[in-house]
Amino acid sequence: MADYRIKCEVVKISNNESVCPGSSQAKMGEVFTLGGKTPSGVCARAYAAIYPTAMAMRFSEEIPWEQGRGYFGIPCPDTYVVYRLSRFKEE
């Protein structure tokens, strides 16, 4: 069974802002490695939207609905931020 780490990167913030206007205050370009807890800088609502896809990616080589080879763009429920999830293996 595959076991990847998942990188979560802030790739877009609404209205071309550099900081999320919501509760997380996520910053453009910020990168998180996802685990079992909500990372600091990601609000709980966004993490709830990200988590199911991140776990599917973690344990599979490829998911049929991927937007590109090994990544997804996931918008937060408040539509302030788009996060890009991608797989990587720790060396």
Question: What pTM did the predictor assign?
Answer: 0.86
How far apart, in whole angstroms, are the C-alpha atoms of residue 72 and residue 91? 23
**28: containing domain:** 5-88
In this structure, the number of other CB atoms found within 10 A of the CB of residue 48 comes to 13
Reading phi first (left if > 0) and then psi (alpha if -120 to 50, else beta), residue 42 is in: beta
Confidence of residue 2 (pLDDT cuts 50, 70, 90): confident
Give the integer Cα–Cα distance in Å for 50 and 23.
16
Question: Binning pLDDT at 50, 70 and 90, where does residue 1 land?
Answer: low
Q: Closest Cα partner for 49 from 71, 25, 27, 73?
A: 73
- 3-class state of residue 16 by DSSP: helix
Work out the average pLDDT over 8-28: 88
Given this model, what pLDDT does residue 91 score?
A: 65
Number of domains in the chain: 1
pLDDT in tens, 25-81: 889 999 999 877 788 878 888 999 999 999 988 888 888 878 777 789 999 998 899
